[in-house]
Amino acid sequence: MIEVTRGTSPLILGLPHTGTDIPSDCYDALSEVGRAMADTDWHIEKLYAGLVDGASFVRTPIHRYVIDVNRDPSGISLYPGQNTTGLCPLTDFDGQAIYKQGYAPDAGEIARRIALYHAPYHAALAAEIARVKAQHGFAILYDCHSIRSKIPFLFDGTLPDFNIGTFDGASCAPAIEAMVHARVRAATAYTNVLNGRFKGGWTTRHYGQPLRGVHAIQMELAQATHISETPPWAMQPARATALREHLRAILTDLQNWRPQ
């Protein structure tokens, strides 16, 4: 069941990759690599909890290895020509197979998962966007993500700490992009990039329609900023506390922003 917490402000936080639920039929098909769930956005829901009053939250409890709700349901790649994972991933972020040989989902199974898990998440998210826009005249979707800072299969070197994605400026008002970018640049203990390796997933690209009053922005955090990047992926309280202050400032700015 999709988890929706309805707030009173224009701000909505999407949580597409924090879930760890894997139905038994899918779990039985996974390899030991898949069952490790290494690519979870560990503790992100805790990191953002309580930072601002009034924000809405939309979260799926389903793990991204079952189906990635931040991918185009058609299966089209978000990053053509680059290594990435798909709608129903076959590998983890290191390129290792997550299914036992011969157990990868076929087209029928993928369609079933879209109907059971992908479509309900986006129905809930779309409904919340519509509700917030009706109340305020606009909505801001902030999509919450994290990833290990070093994954050679996906990118070279070390990922910046803050990775802002606005689909090269197309998914939100320029003032929103500039405001968030200014906040992360002011966080001088951290590195940052705007529309680098991660420009925003399908959620950001699909819902971000600033001319229609819906603004979307993705924040991909390097996990080294708040957890240990090896199992059991433990939260690091001092790092998380420091990071939360910067995230609070970002969300406060977004919550207070109004169209000109």
Mean pLDDT, consecutive 10-residue stretches, the chain (260 aa), reads 97 98 98 98 98 98 98 90 91 97 97 98 98 98 98 97 98 98 98 97 98 98 98 98 98 96
What is the reported pLDDT for 211? 98
Distances in Å between the Cα of 208 and the Cα atoms of 150, 166, 182 are: 29, 8, 20
Task: Give the HSE-up count for residue 12: Cα atoms under 13 Å, Cβ half-sphere.
Answer: 31
State the CATH number of the domain containing residue 58: 3.40.630.40
Tell me the CA end-to-end span of the chain in Å, nearest whole number.
38
Residue 250 belongs to domain spanning: 3-256
User: What b/e string do you get for 66-81 counting C-beta neighbours within 10 Å, with b at 16 or more?
Assistant: bbbbbbbbeeeebeee
- Total structural domains within the chain: 1
pLDDT value, residue 260: 86
Write the DSSP string, 134-175: HHHS-EEEEEEEEE-S--TTT-SS---SEEEESTTTTSS-HH
**Total count of residues recorded for the chain:** 260
pLDDT in the model for residue 54: 96
Tokens of 223: 């996990």
Confidence at residue 59, expressed as pLDDT on a 0 to 100 scale: 98
pTM of the predicted structure, to 2 decimals: 0.97
Position 80 scores a pLDDT of: 83
The reported pLDDT for the residue numbered 78 is 85
Rounded to a whole number of angstroms, the CA Rg of the chain reads 18
Residue among 56, 83, 92, 85 at smallest CA distance from 69: 85
